[in-house]
């Protein structure tokens, strides 16, 4: 099983092709393509590329666990769920501070 993912050109957001044919930000709404739907998947990729609104379109292998779409690659799980490390406030250096490089 596969889904289509990419990045929206204007915002850079990670998006997924939904069954309705629109690109959405929620992984749960992604259309799951079965092996026998390879032709439909390729047609969706071609149609999306023509719009020039989505870039870096990729096919991602997924599994369904209790009805939930779970990407097989950790990279795609991070893109869907967010960073795996906590976010910290950015540290601003004072005028006399420096960082050794």
- Integer Cα distance of 19 and 59 in angstroms: 15
What would the pLDDT profile of 18-59 be if each residue is shown by its tens digit? Answer: 999 999 999 999 999 999 999 999 999 999 999 999 999 999
Is 17 domain-assigned? Answer: yes
What pLDDT does residue 34 have?
97
Residues 58 and 4: beta-carbon distance below 8 Å: yes
Number of domains in the chain: 1
Is 50 domain-assigned? Answer: yes
Q: Tell me which residue of 85, 11, 23 sits closest to 51, measured CA to CA.
A: 23
Is 51 domain-assigned? Answer: yes
Is 74 domain-assigned? Answer: yes
Cα dihedral 22/28/31/34 (nearest 10) = 170
What pLDDT does residue 92 have?
56
- Integer Cα distance of 63 and 72 in angstroms: 7
Query: Domain containing 58: what range?
Result: 2-81
């Amino acid at each position: 099983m596969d889904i289509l993912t990419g990045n929206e050109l204007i915002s850079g957001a990670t998006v997924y092709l939904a069954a309705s044919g629109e690109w959405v930000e929620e992984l749960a709404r992604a259309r799951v393509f079965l092996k026998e739907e390879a032709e439909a998947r390729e047609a969706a990729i071609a149609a999306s590329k023509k719009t020039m609104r989505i870039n870096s379109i990729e096919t991602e292998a997924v599994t369904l666990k209790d009805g939930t779409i779970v990407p097989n690659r950790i990279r795609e799980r991070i893109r869907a769920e967010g960073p795996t490390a906590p976010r910290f406030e950015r540290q601003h250096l004072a005028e006399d501070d420096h960082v050794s490089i």
